[in-house]
Amino acid sequence: MSPGIMEEQLLVALGTDADLAAAGCAAEIGEQVGIIVRRGSHYRGAWYWQRDTFSFTPAGYSESTFEARTIDEALALTRQLALK
């Protein structure tokens, strides 16, 4: 699948997740990277689709440190990382 389609599907999943919403998390399309994840006004990191895998680059890092093969895996990792 194309990055645009996969990132849009993840954006919808992140935006409709009750746990993330209750914690004040939001996801939006980034200007330079796929999907930006915030908790309140704090940047938590970015997801992007590359070579059939979602990659997550946490705030303060210059490269991805987590990968997920599915939207469900990416959603679970986002809950774990953003809700710390």
Q: What is the pLDDT of residues 23-68, one digit of tens each?
A: 999 999 998 779 999 999 999 999 999 989 999 999 999 999 999 9
Q: Model-level pTM greater than 0.95?
A: no
61 phi and psi angles, rounded to 5 deg: -110, 150
- Residue 83 pLDDT class (50, 70, 90 cuts): confident
In the predicted structure, residue 73 carries a pLDDT above the cut 90: yes
**How far is Cα 65 from Cα 68, in angstroms, rounded to an integer?**
11
Helical H runs in the chain?
3-15, 18-22, 71-82
Look at residue 58 in the predicted model and tell me its pLDDT.
94
